Amino acid sequence: MPTTQPTLPEAAAAAIPLHVPTAHQWLSSTTGRIAPDGYSWMQAVCWAHLDNTYRPNRGHGPQHIGNTTLRVAVELARLAPCRPGVDYLVRVLKLSKRTVQYHLGILREAGLLTYQAKGTRVRGEGGRASEFIWTIPAAFDTALHLITRVCDRYIRALQGIADAGRATMKRLAKMARKLMRRPRRSRPTGPSGKRPSSAPRCTPMEGGSSTSSSAATTTSPSESKLETGNRHAPAPKKTRKARKLNAVGRRHQLAYELIQQVPWLHRAAVPRIAWVIQDVADAGWTAEEVIAVINEQAPTRTVHRPSGFLARRLAGALRRFDTPAKRQALVTWWRDSREAERARHVEWEGAWQAPRSRAVTRLVRQAINAVRHSDAPAGRPVEQDDQALTDDQLQVLRETAHQAFLAGDTGLVTSTVAFRGRVEAERIYGAELVGRALRLRSASSHLKVGAGL
């Protein structure tokens, strides 16, 4: 890769600093669009590298998107979902922990990565890595003259490109393809850096540095073996073909894919689900087609028996969707339907789970009782608690709800709204946090969440 920093002609014309503040580095508040795959995202990363308009606000660490940033981005583009641990990147890229953290921050500040769930440590479960979403900044679409349209799944979807940006797009595609290509494995080397050899290498027609000639110990083969060759020569290694699954293997593979993708099937056993879906698996159905049939009907809030619920949803499906064309039409509807999109975001285990911390539970109970006490009419008995909430306790409760919201959990706020009403919830947590939590819970796509903030 060249050492000089190349530039793009569109960058000189735009000259707009590429920097996203911390508040807009979340999926719910980003202004960029979601990349459909890692290759498309790497084109945007290459553009940011060539554009060279990113400038950090800090005075230490890397100051631009360089070759190390591209190395980190290539590893992120190969992860789906993009949940890289810092220790994993340190081990794979042979970089220091601080360097990896710097360049992850650069990708976030450039609008190329957004948080979907920030990493944290859970008591009894260990640490969890942050989960990112590949995003393409709006400056990329403007610089390359891309035409986008509104899309529920990707916030904005690419519709076309003007002639002025085609040459630059070809250049970025070639650069991204070259970076994504895996390097060849180098031959093992010894401690001195030279390739190990079991016998001295013979170099005919040229002199060698060895004092003894290797040709002196070489014997010519007999004339009887010149035609047929050596009988005891090692046979060439045969490439092992991929194992082909039988009917039972395809059933278990489809069952495993469904358990990984459908939330209310996570606790189900693979053999039992394989027995339920044996008919559709034998007919060649894919996991996406089965999920489309499941979401054809209205979702249920709670599923008590996942295998029985799945069998009920698949009853008669093999007869109604007996051709690949019908199943493909159903999958297309499921992808584009807002009702199906909302069904994929339903929390099947209930609207809210109680917090694990006893201190937070006590604060919630005190807050609800304090509000109930302040609004109770005269002559009506009210549940009393140990003491009313102080300002410090109320601040702790608000911070706890805010941290839970950033992690994608709105249950603390929405349960208070359901129990005491929105007015009282806004008195406890604030109008802004309550509004954002309700929009996140009822949104049918990431576009609505981002547009409302």
Share the mean pLDDT of the chain. Answer: 75
pLDDT value at 191 more than 70: no
pLDDT value at 72 more than 90: yes
Q: Which residue has the higher pLDDT, 207 or 79?
A: 79
The reported pLDDT for the residue numbered 345 is 52
pLDDT band at residue 125 under the 50/70/90 scheme: low
pLDDT band at residue 372 under the 50/70/90 scheme: low
Residue 153 has which token pair? 């799944």
Lowest mean pLDDT among 40-44, 126-130, 274-278, 354-358: 354-358
C-alpha torsion 189→193→197→198, nearest 10: -90
Q: Are strands 126-128 and 120-122 parallel, antiparallel or unpaired?
A: antiparallel
Q: Could you identify the residue written with the tokens 């109680």?
A: 354
Nearby residues of 124 by Cβ (< 8 Å), 6 or more positions away:
none
HEC secondary structure over the chain: CCCCCCCCHHHHHHCCCECCCHHHCECCCCCCEECCCHHHHHHHHHHHHHHCCECCCCCCCCCCCCHHHHHHHHHHHCCCCECCCHHHHHHHHCCCHHHHHHHHHHHHHCCCEEEEECCEEECCCEEECCEEEEEECHHHHHHCCEEEEEECCCEEEEEEECHHHHHHHHHHHHHHHHHHCCCCCCCCCCCCCCCCCCCCCCCCCCCCCCCCCHHHHCCCCCCCHHHHCCCCCCCCCCCCCCCCCCHHHHHHHHHHHHHHHCHHHCCCCHHHHHHHCHHHHHCCCCHHHHHHHHCCCCCCCCCCCHHHHHHHHCCCHHHHCCCHHHHHHHHHHHHHCHHHHHHHCCCCCCCCCCCCCHHHHHHHHHHHHHHHHHHCCCCCCCCCCCCCCCHHHHHHHHHHHHHHHHCCCCHHHHHHHHHHCHHHHHHHHCHHHHHHHHHHHHCCCHHHHHHHC
The reported pLDDT for the residue numbered 213 is 44
**pLDDT mean over 225-231:** 50
pLDDT digits (tens, 9 = 90+) for 382-394: 444 434 567 777 7
